[in-house]
Amino acid sequence: MNIVLIGMNHKTAPVHIRERLSLSCDDDDRILDEIKEIPGVIEAMYLSTCNRVEVLARVDDYEKGITRLRQYVLSHGNLSAAELEECLYVYHDDDAVRHLFRVASSLDSMVMGEPQILGQVKDAYRHCVEKRASGIILNKLLHHAFRVAKRVRTETGIAGNAVSVSFAAVELAKKIFGYLEGKTILLVGTGEMSELAARHLVTNGVSKILIANRTYDNAVRMANDFHGTAVSFDLLGETLKEVDIVISSTGAPGYIIDEPMITNALRRRKNRLMFLIDIAVPRDVAPEVEDIDNVYLYNIDNLQEIVDANIKTRMNEAEKGEGIISEEMVAFSTWLTTLEVVPTIVSLRKKTDVIIEGEMERFGSWVQNLSHEDREKVKILAVSIVNKILHDPITQLKEESQNGGADPYIAAVMRLFKLETDD
């Protein structure tokens, strides 16, 4: 079938090389147009994300196609020959199909189970269709990949567990409160991890965000990003009484939230639940806070334990995903092997259609005496008889194609029925 896939990803190329390749290949229209013009490339799709750059193509000659595609990446990718040799992977036919299925199903992602990659593959395919760069093989292959991805997502638990510290914090909050709609969150510090957790919390319905930071301007900046409210760091203790969830990530050398502050806040909150996520190193929240009733405290180690357990679970689910991919590869391969007999089958059916139309016209005077309904019944009868006659030969052709022995049967059918086919 001469399907080839070449590329590099987070496993084979460090970020500084991926950045250079991405910067030199950031014009999808131009890149795809140039790939289409490479001699021997019949169909092509170009995929570029922050973690991978890949070209999927059908070529008329495997060796020449790989050589020309590698040369294209070398000349346009801002890479040396040594870097290309070290980072580039090349897959052919079944291996290329399996890799595509794994990518679409997020089994090859940096964060296994993440949903973004499927959307990126769909966007790349949509673009190659718009550019008329795909044909019968890639069209079928990509639609099959989307089906595989759906099966993996629905039949396994690969996406069902948090595998980042920030998302794990959100999942814990949902378990503790039952729901997050209407809850108030306080961010202490403006670090990246607390910001990521805040984004997840907002997505899950947190309605009010307060931000406290020693540098008040930074608190104002993040408050603008989240449509929240900046509060003075000096008013931290007073602010705690208003919030349900605290995410703290500062660089303070000692505890900035202690037991008396939380006890006082709970009293004024009438002992409503409070959830504290301390992702600072060294810790921001005194460990004694965990002993207070109606308070849940998790630090970075607690969250990492949850993440590690979830990653292990996803790995187990990934094995199920690999099994689904193996099943679907058989299905795609079965479809692919029937393609060689398709022109003969199409030509055979065209000829029988012409014969039926000709015979209906030859007996036109008799047919005209029939009602329109009866004429249609006669035609349906003729088509049905022909279909039954052709059923066994066509089935045999398809079976022989799957066994790799269709050529003599195709030649015999072509000669016996005096067929002509379009390649």
Which residues have CB under 8 Å from 406's CB, separation 6+? 340, 341, 397, 400
Based on its alpha-carbon atoms, the radius of gyration of the chain, rounded to whole angstroms, reads 31
Q: Quick one: which of 411, 385, 122, 242 has its CA closest to 229?
A: 242
* Options 25, 50, 87, 128, the catalytic residue: 50
Give the helix/strand (H/E) hosting 232.
strand 229-232
> 249 with 279: CB under 8 angstroms?
yes
Distance CA 423, CA 409 (A): 17
Residue 50 falls in the annotated catalytic set = yes
Residue 8's alpha-carbon distances to 11, 12, 287, 391, in angstroms, are 8, 6, 45, 47
Give the helix/strand (H/E) hosting 199.
helix 192-203
DSSP letter for 190, please.
-
Which residues have CB under 8 Å from 375's CB, separation 6+? 360, 367
Do β-strands 52-59 and 3-9 pair in parallel, antiparallel, or remain unpaired? antiparallel
Q: Which amino acid is at 66?
A: I
Catalytic residues: 50
